[in-house]
Amino acid sequence: MNLQYRKATENDISFLFDLRTKTMTEHYISSHLPTDKESTLQRILYHFEKANIITLNNEPIGLLKINKAENHIEVFQIQIDPKLQGKGIGKSILKEIIEEASATKKPVRLSVLKTNKAQTLYVVLGFKIIAEDQHSYMMELVN
């Protein structure tokens, strides 16, 4: 699998809007969260400086928004085009992040909507729920 990453730019907003709509709308609806264009754009722009486009054979297929802080790594968002989900891409990316965190003895943190089936993958990889709010679980993997 020839996955690569490149820094997201303003030119990627249209791709990211489409990706977010395809990957997250059903979860927002079932969580009773807004799905309008403005809310979607705000979510895209949240920590945009940390956004990386995931490419496969030079084609954009997803988003990885990650913060590598001094004492932890936080995955803000990971989204893979639905046509490519279930093929191990997200798992592969998360395993790379976990390996890096393990080498530096940092925990990995993320949050996931309670309605998102991706939480199953996170549990399989060793993440544990450390907190929750009305809509999301906050999860952590300690190395």
Digit-coded pLDDT (tens) for 57-105: 999 999 999 999 999 999 999 999 999 999 999 999 999 999 999 999 9
**Assessment of whether the complete model's pTM goes beyond 0.75:** yes
* Nearest residue to 73 (alpha-carbon basis) of 50, 45, 92: 50
Query: Which CATH code, of 3.40.50.1820, 3.90.550.10, 3.30.1490.20, 3.40.630.30, is assigned to 3-141?
Result: 3.40.630.30
Structural domain spans, the chain: 3-141
